Chain A
Amino acid sequence: AQKVTQAQTEISVVEKEDVTLDCVYETRDTTYYLFWYKQPPSGELVFLIRRNSFDEQNEISGRYSWNFQKSTSSFNFTITASQVVDSAVYFCALKNPLPDKLIFGTGTRLQVFP
């Protein structure tokens, strides 16, 4: 079965705190792709990162970092020194070669308070 689990429904932090959003996936394929998207209150989905299953190198982009652990089927997302503008719903998604579609997790709503 192909499945993405984001166990954290809502997270609230105060500005400047670090926060980690968890993502656990299930797939039978050895080749797959993982994505993170941000959905601010305005509604659009913003692409943040993609990761291939054969590339376990972690990535850092400014205040954002991603920790891909194949051994635990996790692809966690950390925001360092959070800001109010980070408040949004964050979706983790899985893509296998077939079928040709993204499988989204249920999302984590992050609220960053000033």
Chain B
Amino acid sequence: GAVVSQHPSRVICKSGTSVKIECRSLDFQATTMFWYRQFPKQSLMLMATSNEGSKATYEQGVEKDKFLINHASLTLSTLTVTSAHPEDSSFYICSARDMKQGAGFGNQPQHFGDGTRLSIL
């Protein structure tokens, strides 16, 4: 159980292209999903928290117009990297929290997708 599917797993595209990444919780409902960015050999950096039916909350320094997040249903959140440039090349990984697991707010583990490796030429 608690499977998160992320698609695509790898994208290579030209500079200026917009890229959409999907994150789906397959066997549970997730009112909250998270988007992270990870540079090679570094830790995960939270970009934004995505709440179903409302606007995403972005971390300081993350451009909301650059990284568009939509969480239209309890099982799907999307991240669109608009007008991508080489410096946007990175590993993007989403996670979803199963609100039914664990007791108490915040105790539920986040379940992660397989990540999307984005390469902008």
Q: A43 at the A/B interface (Cβ < 8 Å)?
A: yes
Q: A73 at the A/B interface (Cβ < 8 Å)?
A: no
Q: Which residue of A lies closest to B102 (CB)?
A: A50
Chain B residues within 8 Å of A44, by CB: 93, 112-115
Number of A-B residue pairs having CB atoms within 8 Å of each other in the complex = 55
Q: How far is the CA of A95 from the CA of B95 in the complex (A)?
A: 14
Number of chain A residues whose Cβ lies closer than 8 Å to a Cβ of chain B: 23
Q: Which residue of B lies closest to A107 (CB)?
A: B43
Q: How far is the CA of A52 from the CA of B103 in the complex (A)?
A: 10
Number of chain B residues whose Cβ lies closer than 8 Å to a Cβ of chain A: 25
Q: A30 at the A/B interface (Cβ < 8 Å)?
A: no
Known contacts: A44-B115, A45-B93, A50-B102. The answer to whether A102 contacts B110 by CB under 8 A is yes
Q: A33 at the A/B interface (Cβ < 8 Å)?
A: yes
Q: A106 at the A/B interface (Cβ < 8 Å)?
A: yes
Quick check: A96 and B114 within 8 Å, CB to CB?
no
Q: How far is the CA of A100 from the CA of B49 in the complex (A)?
A: 9
Known contacts: A101-B49, A105-B43, A107-B43. The answer to whether A43 contacts B109 by CB under 8 A is no
Quick check: A91 and B43 within 8 Å, CB to CB?
yes
Chain A residues within 8 Å of B109, by CB: 35, 47, 50
Q: How far is the CA of A107 from the CA of B42 in the complex (A)?
A: 8
A71 to chain B, nearest CB (A): 22
Chain A residues within 8 Å of B110, by CB: 35, 47, 102
A66 to chain B, nearest CB (A): 14
Most buried by A among B2, B104, B106: B106
By a beta-carbon cutoff of 8 Å, the part of chain A in contact with chain B is: 33, 35, 37, 42-47, 50, 52, 91, 95-97, 100-102, 104-107, 109
Residue pairs across A and B with Cβ atoms less than 8 A apart, 6 shown, are: A42-B114, A44-B112, A46-B112, A100-B106, A102-B46, A107-B42
Known interface pairs A101-B34, A106-B42, A107-B42; 13 further A-B residue pairs with C-beta atoms within 8 A, sorted by A's residue number = A35-B110, A42-B114, A43-B115, A43-B117, A44-B93, A45-B95, A46-B112, A47-B111, A95-B107, A100-B32, A104-B43, A106-B43, A109-B41
